[in-house]
Structure formats: C-alpha cells, structure tokens
Amino acid sequence: MSQAGKGRLNYRCPSCFMRDLDIDMFYDKDTEEYYCLRCQFTGKEDEVLKLNEMARFRYKNLLKRITDFE
Amino acid sequence: MSKFILNIIHRPEMVPEYAEKVTGQGKKEDIGRKSLLTESLDIFKLQQEIAHENGFKTTIQMTYASLFNEEAVQLAKEHHEKYGDEIGLTLLGLPCKEFREKYKTKDFCIWMFSMEDKKSIVNDVFEKFHEVFGFYPTSTGSYYMDADLTNYIKEKYPMVKCAVATCWEEGPKAYRTCNNSWYTLFDGGPWNPWIPSKANTHAPAANAEEDSGIVAIPHLSRDLLACFDGNGSNFGTHPQNVLRGMIYKDGEYPYLFNLIDQYKSLQKYNNGYAYNMMFVGPGWMNKMGRWEAPYELLVKSYRDGMAYYAELRDKGEIEDMTMTEFADWYRVNKSYTEPECALWKDILYGSEKQLFWYVDPYLRTCVDMNQGGALIDLRPYVAKLEWPVGIGTKHVQDASYPFLIQSMYRAGYFTHYAGEGTIKSLKVSYEGEEVDLCLCRTKGKYSKKGKDTILTLDPVEIEFSDLKLKLVTTFTFTEGSSEIKVSRKIIEMSNPDAKVHLNEYMTACYGTTEYPEDMCGITLRCAGKEETKELSYNYKCREESVSNATKVEAVVPQINTRVSLIPGSTGMEGYLREGYAFSPMFTLGLTKTISNSEELITCLKLEKAD
Ligand SMILES: [Zn+2]
C-alpha cells in the first residue's frame, strides 16, 4: 500500500467540521476512501457529500432572505 | 446622515497563504515556483476586473513580494490612473525570495517579529514601495497591527492615515478550528472602524493625546453573533468564508446578503453611519478550489458579492471609498468618544437571539437579551493596557485584549457541577426561591437621548410558587463616562404588598483564552458608610459584606484595571466573594429588598488601576 494523497477535491472531515474543526482529509486510492488524520472518520466521496449536507442542519435560515433586523 | 461605506481591498500576493501548502501538496516547498507566481497574479487581475466591471474603485494593497514583480507594479499604476484605485501597502504577503534571504525566517505575520525586525521590515517595505512608485503609501495593514508597530510607522511615515488593524474575534476559536496551527490570536477589538490608542490597538483613543494617528479598519465585516461562538472565519463579508462555513446550497448563499444588509441596518444605532469591507486574499480563489468548493463556485461567489454591492450602490444605498478616502471621511465625521453600537440579531440559525454590542474608548461589552440582559463580554479599554507582542516580549503570539467577562471562554451562567462562570446578571429571590435573569429570554430596544445610549429590555416575567412579577431592565451608557448604569424596575406583582430581594452581581476573572490565570494579587473590597472590608485573593472561598454600601470593587493589577459596582441609592448591602481553585473567579454584588414599582439602580464602573 503506497502513501495517501489528495482526492478530486480537498474535502474536510465532516465529523471534525461538525465540531468546528477544519481538517483536510487524505485519499486512499486502494480503498477509494477519504480518511481523517485526527479523528476516526473514513468514508467514500458520496458519504462525505451526504454528511456535509447534514452538517448544515444548524443553519435553519440557510436559504432565507432576511429583511427585518429589529 | 445616511451613509453606508464600502472598502474593497485587493492584494497581489505572489505566494498566497494556503496556496503553497494546498496546491503544492506532494511537491517540495518552492515559493519561487513560476506557476504559483503566474496563478497568483491572475487571481489578483480577476478580482480587480470583477470590481471594475461593477463600477467600483479598490484599494490595491501591494505586498512586499509584488513590489519585485514588474507586471504587478504596472497593473497597479494603470488601475490607479484608469479607475482611481488607491495604491496602498500591506504588511501581509511578506514571503518571497528577497525577504527570506534577508531575514532568514519563515515568519510572515508582522506583529510577531521582534521590534528590531519590525522596524527593519517596515523600512524595507516602505522604501521599496517608494522606489517603485515614487511616493509613500497612505494606507497599510495586516491581520493585526500592534501599537508599537503602528507608532513606529507613524513616526517614520507620518503620511499613513489608515490601516487594516485587526480581525474581529479571530483568536482561540480560529486557532482551534485550524487544528491549533493558525496563530492569529487577537480577540477583543472593535468590529467596525475606530481610532486606535497609542497604547493598545484594540482600545480606541479617548482624545487627541491618545490618538495613534491612524484610522483602523477591521479585516472583514464579521457576524456579531455567529463569530462570538463559532469559527470566525465562516461568517463574514468574504464570500469564500461563507462557503467555508458550508452556508450555501445549490450555489445560493442568501446569508452573505443578509449579513451585508444587517451591517447596513446598523445605521440606526450610529447616527446614520454604517460600514462594510471586503478583502479576499487570492489564496481563496485558486484554480485547485478551496476544500470542497470548486474554483467555479469560489469565483461565482466573489462575482455575486460584488454584484450585490453594485445593486446597493445603484439604489444609492452604499458608497465605495478607498481606504484613505474613508480615513479622511471618518476624521471629519466621528468624534473620539462617540460609541459604536450594534443591536444584532441571529440571521443564520433561526433562533430569536439578539445581542447588543457596545464599544467606546473605555470599554467593550455585549448584552445578551437571550439571557435576560446578562453581560457576556467585558473588556476594560480604560486601562489602555500596554501589551507588547512579538518575539522578545511576554506575548509572542497572544495579542488579544484581556477580558473581565467572557462567557464562552470562562463559562457564563451554566457550569458543570461546581463553581461559577463569568457573567453579570441579577438574581431575584422571594421566600427561599431564587431566579436568575439569565433564564429569562427577552428582546431589547435601542434609543438615544443626548449623550446617553439606552438599551431597554422588554419586561421579563418571574414566577415563584407564591408570586408572579414583571421586571424591566434598562442599560444606560453615558458617553465619556466609563460606566454602565443598570436599572431593574418591578412593574407588576401578583401580590402588590410582597417584597422581593434583588441581587445585582458580577462574576469575573481576567484572561485572553479559555484557560485560567493566577488570581493571586487581586484585591477585593467592599466599602460601606460605617466600615470597609478587604481581602487579597488567595483561593480561600471567603466572603465579606457591609451594610449601607458605597462601593464594591476589585483591583486586578495583572490587567491594570479597577472594576466597581456603585449603588444608585442608599440602603444597599454590598458583598464580595473570593473563589477557589475549582472556581477561579471573584464576585461583586449589591443587594436590596424592594417592593412593587420600585427600582434598583447600580452602576458598573471601569478605571485604570494605577
Ligand atoms: Zn476528523
């Protein structure tokens, strides 16, 4: 097994992102998985995308245009 | 006045931060890489093009590296001629072959160098600028400009009028988000432009004598609620920061426009004036993309941001200025003691949370309406704390202005199991039951009366098993006073004959980070008409009180600050509480028993200790 590199995009670890940590993941081409050096997360691209979607749960006004600031 | 002013700043950074680390993955470090230089310049050109297409002039902040690049210099000259862009000089972007050869270091943050190196770098950079352009710049900046640095620049290059001087609440939170590897530790400053004092950049000057001679602008306009708790670098007028926070869906990011609009709405609290700045480093628009955001989205977000500003401009709602134009405007239109205020609401998480931020030359504070008007942040600017930073000082990296209260770093109302956290609030008790206003969610309204800035909270309801009451809190900040007057008035009671006990208290400590500092050396004192009691902090969990209090105070020599609570009427009891090792805090309080329609008035005062 040779060293890991970067994937198609420089994904951050979704598990760390949800605890306010920006940690680049590395890509293991043998297993086609991204993995985090800091925590235990490992996952394929579609799972990363799904979790990134989930990370937005706290932004309840993600798509809302606000005009009243009182 | 109705003025919403915009500064757009671009820097040709020949070796963008991030870019070498990210695009160079798997290659040996080489900051002279031709492809890196070409790409960096292309990004700068694109940013300039987008601003100009939208009819804006920019401030081009030349980096040291770019002064050695003929094309970058030529572009700046052309754009100055054609679009009226200002050519300024940033102290960001120092790294280049010439710099590394002379200084033999990879340090790149100006405030972290030794004073000797700071002077030498300023000389080199300003003189190189003069050699290239034939004049000296009138604007400069970095992520942070320490007071000694600014004072040196003003002494040597007095024509400098404006500087990017801090990045709001970029401190321990940003450090942690970056895997404890991004050392920009400078919490505790103003969020909007100010005139820094000669003693400490964060603390605004109170008069001409304290005036550092520059108008400081913040690096970006940050979300005053999201940044206080979350990673600051996700919530600002930096489109790619918004992408970093994943605050978008299908290429749409209404949050960015909500943020700009909320800044515009701050005109209401600042005599018609509001401010915004956009300053995106080229590393954020590189071809490799930035994390999961592809290049196309990075560029689209920049175009959309600029187009939105143009839309506002076309409606006459925003005006673009260069940094120096803005500094001139600010000098004419603002006074030293006029406060900067922001009644800020959550525009992202869908809560109803509302914060009131207040800054003047004596203090910075934040009132949390979601905790019944508790003070959750307090910085004693009145101390004008001399706090040298950089190699050879006691604070190599930590440039934050110390707090007395910071409810995120040192707990607020809620603590685990034992001890107390930093907060200023009110406890109401009746027949053995006690309620803290921290658990009463409410909203506030701003008003202005002469020199008084007034924040009036909607009444909160307090329910005991045998009594219900309504209480109104009012904060008054009188310009130039270094005081906050707090009124707690009972406006309704289910039993009009009942008497309740009010305890106005403040639990505080000092520091710049999450971790406790040694409290020894702090003096606590409560003074009454008949006697004064005093103790020297030694973690012994002691308490003292006096009747007919005239003042309760703490002197914190570590931050040269005296903080006191002063009764607004007679007959109050004053008390103090020392903490213990598991609760390294002190508490000052004033109490009184009052009836319906009565009011408890107290005053929080901050002074320089010596
Ligand atoms: Zn992780």
- Could you give the CA distance from residue B555 to residue B404 in angstroms, rounded to a whole number? 11
**Residues in CB range of B231: below 8 A, 6 or more apart:** A20, A22, B173, B174, B177, B245
pLDDT tens digit sequence for B306-342:
999 999 999 999 999 999 999 999 999 999 999 999 9
pLDDT tens digit sequence for B518-543:
999 999 999 999 999 999 999 999 99
Mutate to test the interface with B, among A61, A64, A67, A68 (most CBs of B within 10 A): A61
**What tokens appear for B334 in the block?**
């603002």
Three-state DSSP state, B558: helix
Position of tokens 């310009």?
Answer: B479
Q: How far is CA B488 from CA B120, B395, B407, B473, B520, in A?
A: 55, 41, 22, 5, 33
Query: Cβ–Cβ of B231/A20 closer than 8 Å?
Result: yes
Residue B6 has pLDDT above 80, yes or no: yes
First-residue to last-residue Cα distance in chain B: 40
Query: Cβ–Cβ of A11/B26 closer than 8 Å?
Result: no
Query: Cβ–Cβ of A22/B252 closer than 8 Å?
Result: no
Which CB contacts under 8 angstroms, 24+ apart, belong to B463-467?
A: B463/B435, B464/B430, B464/B431, B464/B433, B464/B435, B465/B433, B466/B430, B466/B431, B466/B495, B467/B430, B467/B431, B467/B493, B467/B494, B467/B495, B467/B498, B467/B500
Measure CB to CB from residue A61 to each of B244, B343, B350 and give the nearest one.
B350
Distance from CA of A37 to the nearest CA of B (A): 11
Give the phi and the psi of residue B401 in degrees, each rounded to 5: -85, 125
**Paired residues of B589 in beta bridges:** B505, B575
Contacts of A38 in chain B (CB under 8 A): 179
Segment B344-368 shows an average pLDDT of: 98
DSSP state of B143: S
Position of tokens 């405007």?
Answer: B329
Segment B219-233 shows an average pLDDT of: 94
- How many angstroms separate the alpha carbon of residue B175 from the centre of ligand 1? 16
Contacts of A59 in chain B (CB under 8 A): 247, 255, 348-350
Give the phi and the psi of residue B241 in degrees, each rounded to 5: -65, -40
pLDDT tens digit sequence for B19-73:
556 555 666 767 677 777 778 899 999 999 999 999 999 999 999 999 999 999 9
Give counts: helices (H), strands (E), chain A.
Answer: 2, 3
Query: Cβ–Cβ of B348/A59 closer than 8 Å?
Result: yes
What is this model's ipTM? 0.97
The reported pLDDT for the residue numbered B34 is 75
Query: Cβ–Cβ of A61/B348 closer than 8 Å?
Result: yes
| Spacing of C-alpha B587 from chain mean position | 25
Evaluated on CA atoms B182, B10, B35, A34, the torsion sign reads: positive
pLDDT tens digit sequence for A12-69:
999 999 999 999 999 999 999 999 999 999 999 999 999 999 999 999 999 999 999 9
- Mean pLDDT, all residues of chain B: 96
Mutate to test the interface with B, among A13, A17, A21, A22 (most CBs of B within 10 A): A22
Contacts of B176 in chain A (CB under 8 A): 20-21
The reported pLDDT for the residue numbered B26 is 65
The reported pLDDT for the residue numbered B580 is 98
- What is the percent of chain A with per-residue pLDDT over 90, rounded to a whole number? 86
Measure CB to CB from residue A63 to each of B25, B252, B292 and give the nearest one.
B252
Q: Are B604 and B553 in contact (CB under 8 A)?
A: no
Least confident of A15-19, B36-40, B272-276, B603-607: B36-40
The reported pLDDT for the residue numbered B21 is 60
pTM (two decimals): 0.97
- How many angstroms separate the alpha carbon of residue A59 from the centre of ligand 1? 21
Segment B593-607 shows an average pLDDT of: 98
Q: Are B202 and B188 in contact (CB under 8 A)?
A: yes
Amino acid at B553: E
- What is the percent of chain B with per-residue pLDDT over 70, rounded to a whole number? 98
- What is the percent of chain B with per-residue pLDDT over 90, rounded to a whole number? 92
Segment B415-437 shows an average pLDDT of: 97
CA nearest to B11, candidates B112, B140, B123, B187: B140
The reported pLDDT for the residue numbered B299 is 97
Contacts of B259 in chain A (CB under 8 A): none
The reported pLDDT for the residue numbered B87 is 98
Residue B141 has pLDDT above 60, yes or no: yes
Q: Are B289 and A9 in contact (CB under 8 A)?
A: yes
Segment B549-554 shows an average pLDDT of: 98
The reported pLDDT for the residue numbered B147 is 98
Contact of B349 with chain A, judged by CB distance below 8 Å, is answered with yes
- How many angstroms separate the alpha carbon of residue B236 from the centre of ligand 1? 25
**Paired residues of B426 in beta bridges:** B504
